[in-house]
Chains A and B, each alone.
Chain A
Amino acid sequence: MGISRAKDKKRKLTGGKRKKWRSKRQARIGRPPANTKLGPKLIRPVRTHGGNTKYRALRLDSGNWSWGSEAISRKTRILDVVYNASNNELVRTKTLVKGAIVVIDATPFKQWYKQFYGENIGDKKIKKGEKETEKKEKETEEKKEELTPKQQRQKWKNKTERKKKMKKYIQKKVKRREGHVISKQLVDQFKKGKLFASISSRPGQCGRCDGYILEGAELDFYVHKLKTRKKK
């Protein structure tokens, strides 16, 4: 038995030593840290007290990341570990721990944004909604096939229905775009294809590296920290 979590080896508040009065117990064991690194997924299940399982992630390369202000989550690759408030060593060794700041791939979020708002992040906004509908109509018209008259009628019927739905859908997207703002810092990150995110799960416990994209004041804070480090 190695690491123990019992407090009997600790000194008292007064500074006095505590005498050992019992041996180590299985129920109070600690285990060596996972030190989850960046790499192809490697997770070991551990049998814990009560028959429960902990998933010790030894290597991870992706996770589920939330974009808070848009209220969505996507699975993305982790590209790099960039900052750790507790220990610079963990940054150097690229260790994934809760609270570490990492760089993640922005593609799934970019795709979602395009699908949800109908425009790419960082594009200049299309002012007239009508232009958008015209574009879509052209796209749908391009596909033409040889069909029987009945099939053609059916298709034409479906097409008008689809056009109606399309129009409604586009209008919906336009409405979503109204007054919607993305901060400039995020836009810059999206253009580079990399986002700063903070890990909020415990990879050594649950075997996952999930977290949230940094935004607002928090993002400013860490960007500033990284800049000052670079200067040194």
Chain B
Amino acid sequence: MTEQNQRAFQKQKGVFVSDKRRVLGRWVKGKSRLVKKIGLDFKTPKEAIEGTYIDKKCPFTGNVSIRGRILRGVVISTKMERTIIIRRDYLHYLKKYNRFEKRHRNLPAHCSPCFKHVKPGDIVTIGQTRPLSKTVHFNVIKWEPQQGVDAVKQFRQF
């Protein structure tokens, strides 16, 4: 089991691992796993239901709820463990010149292991959660893979 790679035993809160019924083989519905719907018509990925990863910050299998803002952005960096940086572009209007200027903001978001193969350039929908760390208050809830290397550098307003 590759999910037990930490110094503490990884398990889902709310799932009793040593349930007698499981031990005796009476419940044979496969592994018990807590999966939930996050609401707002977002589909729970198959990997979240069938996978074996343990992530307490995952919106589908962990102890966080998605509430507040739902944003979209382009993935810039996936170098961190289970978190990604997203870039959100927008236009800022200058009244004096009647014109717009390009601005952007980077947002760190938690990326659950159910979203495998997320790479820079992909478009991602993130939902607001309670603070998961000092800077992370968002969680990836939908992933749209993109092709093309230059997708990161395009100005895309969602």
A residues near B, CB below 8 A? 10, 13, 68-70, 85-86, 99, 179, 181, 183, 215-219, 221-222, 225
Interface residues on B, range: 10 to 19
Secondary structure class of chain B's binding surface, majority of residues:
loop
B16 within 8 A of A: yes
Contact of A215 among B7, B8, B18, B135 (CB under 8 A): B18
> Given the complex of chains A and B, what is the CA–CA distance between A169 and B11 in angstroms?
39
> Given the complex of chains A and B, what is the CA–CA distance between A179 and B21 in angstroms?
11
Q: Is the CB of B18 within 8 A of A68?
A: yes
A187, chain B: closest CB distance, angstroms = 13
Q: Is the CB of B7 within 8 A of A85?
A: yes
B4 within 8 A of A: yes
B79 within 8 A of A: no
> Given the complex of chains A and B, what is the CA–CA distance between A222 and B6 in angstroms?
11
Question: In the complex, which residues 85-115 of chain B have their Cβ closer than 8 Å to any Cβ of chain A?
Answer: 108
B134 within 8 A of A: yes
Contact of B24 among A10, A181, A217, A219 (CB under 8 A): A181
Interfacial chain A residues near B7, Cβ < 8 Å: 85-86, 225
The 8 closest A-B pairs by CB, nearest first: A216-B18, A85-B8, A215-B18, A85-B7, A69-B20, A221-B9, A13-B135, A218-B9
> Given the complex of chains A and B, what is the CA–CA distance between A215 and B11 in angstroms?
13
Task: Name the residue of chain B whose CB is nearest to the CB of A216.
Answer: B18
Task: Name the residue of chain A whose CB is nearest to the CB of B16.
Answer: A68
Q: Is the CB of A179 within 8 A of B23?
A: no
> Given the complex of chains A and B, what is the CA–CA distance between A225 and B23 in angstroms?
22
> Given the complex of chains A and B, what is the CA–CA distance between A216 and B4 in angstroms?
14
A132, chain B: closest CB distance, angstroms = 23
> Given the complex of chains A and B, what is the CA–CA distance between A10 and B110 in angstroms?
21
Q: Is the CB of A218 within 8 A of B108?
A: no
Q: Given A13-B108, A99-B8, are A216 and B17 also a contact pair (CB < 8 Å)?
A: yes
- Identify 14 residue pairs between A and B in the complex whose beta-carbon atoms are under 8 Å apart, listed by A's number: A10-B134, A13-B135, A68-B16, A68-B19, A69-B18, A70-B20, A85-B7, A99-B8, A179-B24, A216-B23, A217-B9, A218-B17, A218-B18, A221-B4
Give B25-48 as 1s and 0s: 1 = Cβ < 8 Å from A's Cβ atoms: 000000000000000000000000
Task: Name the residue of chain B whose CB is nearest to the CB of A221.
Answer: B9
> Given the complex of chains A and B, what is the CA–CA distance between A221 and B1 in angstroms?
11
Known contacts A179-B24, A217-B9; 11 additional CB pairs below 8 A are A86-B8, A99-B8, A181-B23, A183-B23, A215-B17, A215-B18, A216-B17, A216-B23, A217-B17, A218-B11, A221-B9
> Given the complex of chains A and B, what is the CA–CA distance between A222 and B4 in angstroms?
11
> Given the complex of chains A and B, what is the CA–CA distance between A90 and B28 in angstroms?
40
A11, chain B: closest CB distance, angstroms = 9
> Given the complex of chains A and B, what is the CA–CA distance between A225 and B4 in angstroms?
12
> Given the complex of chains A and B, what is the CA–CA distance between A68 and B11 in angstroms?
15
> Given the complex of chains A and B, what is the CA–CA distance between A70 and B16 in angstroms?
12
